[in-house]
Chains A and B, each alone.
Chain A
Amino acid sequence: MKRSSITFWVGAAVFLIAALAMTQIVHNQYPFFAGYIILQFIALAVAWSILGGYAGYVNFGTSAFYGVGVYGSVFLVKAFGAPLPLQILAGAAIGALMGLALGLLTLRMQGIFFSIATIALTIVIETTITNWRYVGGAAGIQIQRPEVTAPFDSYVQMLFFVQALLVVLAVAISRYIQHSWIGRGLQALRDDELAAECTGVPTLRLKLLACVISGALMCAVGAPAAMYLQYADPGSAFNLNYSVTTLAMSLIGGTAHWAGPIIGAILLGTTQQVLTVTISSEVNLLVLGLMLVLFVVGAPEGIVGLIYKLRGNRKEGEI
């Protein structure tokens, strides 16, 4: 195992142990509620950047995948009373299939056309759910949490830890992809798809793979949200905010390296949570808007890009 890999896995283990210890030591519930949201955005941003960052296919359909994850859980809970792990696994499976379908239908389009198609996907799925009365339809649905399992005291603490696991999983996958032939292939097709195709890179297959992995992760991240909110309505589950915020996080963090979306999500997610309980008015939207503008102007390649620049090391893949 390479040294960087050892560092990564030790870091991941420390992170998980810290998250678990936090659930056992901290009794105040607020850090878990706020932390859950931040972790959720880290996982979403990392998942997004697999297709959006490595392959350069800007996906506005994050909210579609996330919402399907939420409603997949709602359906499973209502129909079978499924436990949380099953909800997440089912979410991942549905997300993978959805990613495949989206890929097959839209990946022949490029640039802005692909992005528009992903927005259309969100609208189509949201409309379908809105008209599906079994899962509450437009009126929304309230769901009850089951009893929490040991060693956790409250369900939110458990969800917090589960989301931490999903973050580690998403980051590990993203990191693997970046360092493997898949990542190199995706990078090649991002730079010039035609040239990549001519040199033997199986572009469509790679894009499909990225779509499937990214979709599966996003859906899996959405799955526990049904239990977090204990309520689902199409307007909130398919809120375009998820797409926009995820995209902003990845762009602010930088899409060239697996760590970029994590940095972006922590920065933006934490700022959002802090602003919600401090300024808490229209001003917080203004602050977020300004942050975006500043980063687009000052650091078009995100924070990771900025670090490369400051170090004078433009070689991607190393920090």
Chain B
Amino acid sequence: MSKKVSKPGSISRRRLLASAGAAIAASPLGANLLQAQAAPIRIGMSMPQTGGLAGGGKASLLGIEIWRDDVNAKGGLLGGRKIELVVYDDKSSASETPAIYSKLIDVDKVDLLFAPYATVPTAPIMPMVKQRGLLLIGNFSFQVNSKVGHDMWFNNAPWGPADSWATSYLDIGQKAGGKTMALLSADQEFAQNLAKTAREVANKRNLPIVFDQAYPPNTVEFSSIIRALKATKPDIVYVASYPPDSTGILRAVNEIGIGDSVKVFGGGMVGLQFGAVMESMGSLLNGVVNYNTWLPEKSMYFEGTKEFFDKYTKRAVEAKIDPLGYYLAPFGYASGQLIERAIAAVGSLDQKALAKYLRENTHHTIVGPIAFSADGERKETAVLQAQFRGVVDKNIEQFRSAGKQVILFPDNLKSGELVAPFEAARK
């Protein structure tokens, strides 16, 4: 029996191969090569799946998941790396997100971060991502970066400059002949931010504010407030409210009336974008001019928009979430597209390079072109102001067709003219 003996100092072929292989694997280049074939690109986020923001959070997450599936079906990014989402529930609370994002960064070691839906859960993680120099794609939070000043923050929301919301609404009101304004706002974070900018814009334009009242959250009975508002005979009524109050306010207006002086009514009513609320309010919505982010008007279809909603509509039924999903879901998808475009252009996951690319270019997404200003918000606002028209009761499908919410602002997306005064538009 012969015994294979290797001479001292010599090296067998197998051993040579093994050593070379190990050396390549251990080298940075080798690590990259191995990773490129196997490791997915992991995107970490928290998302409200329970608590007050859960409805929006779930729709937003579904948008992001549809993007993930689309990219993975196309073979992934960076030469075959699939997208993997690491998602935790933040219970709609600010106190949960610091620990969750620390887990994502320090334990899960995700490649990229998305922010949770809404301002409150996002605010506490801003200083953390700034300190660590990480890229963060925002998700519908409002002015969370204004004080922090993180240069790697990019908000997917169409808000634009802080005052543009009030400016566009007051423009519509003033063009219709409005000379005074009434302001009704919920005592909650988002509504108060809107009310604050509305006051500032009105003061700048010397538009007298004849009524300015904040009501506590969870108010259900608005008839006395609407009576007091009506008595001041305003021309423009700017309402910044949350879902339960939005319906309460519209019911009170329907019962009491708002007076012939009012040219436009609405502006910042959260809730009138959600399928279930729209269906239950039905014809009470007619005439209201309210903000929105996406609507099924002709001007709103970009490359991939229709395909997205085809998929969303199917999956929303299974997931039991908002069947329309106009408000948040396409923007979740667009968040993914932003990252997808940046990775394709940069060719790596280098966060600084990705941020530079996002800051310097215009990105084409299913919600239209997106360009960022220095603070990471949109350069120009793309918040729509639209008027409800010809809405009938108890029919959610009607909102899928064009013409039910006519876009009045911005001009490049406009699909009709304002019908005023409000009482006439309600009929």
Contact = CB atoms under 8 A, between A and B. Distances in A.
B318 interface: no
Contacts of B188: 138, 235
Interface of B: 49-50, 87-89, 91, 93-96, 98-100, 102-103, 105-107, 119-120, 123-124, 126-127, 144, 147-148, 186-189, 191-193, 196, 214, 216
Contacts of A233: 94, 120, 123, 189
25 contacts: A28-B106, A29-B105, A30-B102, A34-B103, A36-B99, A37-B95, A37-B99, A137-B192, A138-B186, A138-B189, A142-B144, A229-B94, A229-B95, A233-B94, A236-B93, A239-B95, A273-B99, A276-B91, A276-B99, A277-B88, A280-B87, A280-B88, A280-B89, A281-B89, A282-B49
Interface in A132-180: 137-140, 142, 144-145, 156
Contact of A231 (B106, B124, B191): B124
Contacts of A137: 187, 192
Nearest to B148: A142
B93 A239 contact: yes
A130 B189 CA distance: 9
Among A30, A131, A156, A241, chain B packs the most CB atoms within 10 A around the CB of A30
Contacts of A228: 98
Contacts, number: 104
A30 B123 CA distance: 18
A83 to B, nearest CB: 18
Given A131-B187, A144-B127, A282-B50, 16 more contacts: A30-B107, A32-B102, A33-B98, A33-B99, A34-B103, A37-B99, A137-B187, A138-B188, A138-B214, A142-B126, A229-B94, A230-B127, A236-B93, A273-B99, A277-B100, A282-B49
Interface in A215-229: 225, 228-229
Contacts of A225: 95
Interface of A: 28-30, 32-34, 36-37, 127, 130-131, 137-140, 142, 144-145, 156, 225, 228-231, 233, 235-236, 239, 241, 273, 276-277, 280-282, 284-285
Given A127-B216, A142-B144, A276 B120 contact: no
Contacts of B187: 127, 130-131, 137-138
B88 A140 contact: no
A223 B98 CA distance: 17
A289 B144 CA distance: 34
Contacts of B193: 139
B88 A29 contact: no
Contacts of B91: 276
A23 B417 CA distance: 63
Top 5 A-B residue pairs of the complex, sorted by shortest distance between their CB atoms: A33-B99, A236-B94, A231-B123, A33-B102, A138-B192
A30 B103 contact: yes
A285 B186 CA distance: 29
A140 B189 contact: yes
Nearest to B216: A127
Contacts of B95: 37, 225, 229, 236, 239
B123 A142 contact: yes
A8 B87 CA distance: 41
A292 B147 CA distance: 42
Contacts of B147: 142
B88 A130 contact: no
B93 to A, nearest CB: 6
Given A137-B192, A138-B188, A273-B99, A130 B216 contact: yes
B127 A145 contact: yes
A26 B88 CA distance: 24
Contacts of B192: 137-139
A131 B192 CA distance: 10
Contact of A139 (B87, B88, B96, B196): B196
Contacts of A230: 124, 126-127
B136 to A, nearest CB: 15
A87 B32 CA distance: 48
Contacts of B103: 30, 33-34, 277
A276 B100 contact: yes
Contacts of B49: 280-282
A281 B123 contact: no
Nearest to B123: A231
A244 to B, nearest CB: 13
Contacts of B148: 142
Contacts of B50: 281-282, 284-285
A236 B120 contact: yes
A140 B98 contact: no
Given A225-B95, A235-B188, A281-B49, A29 B120 contact: no
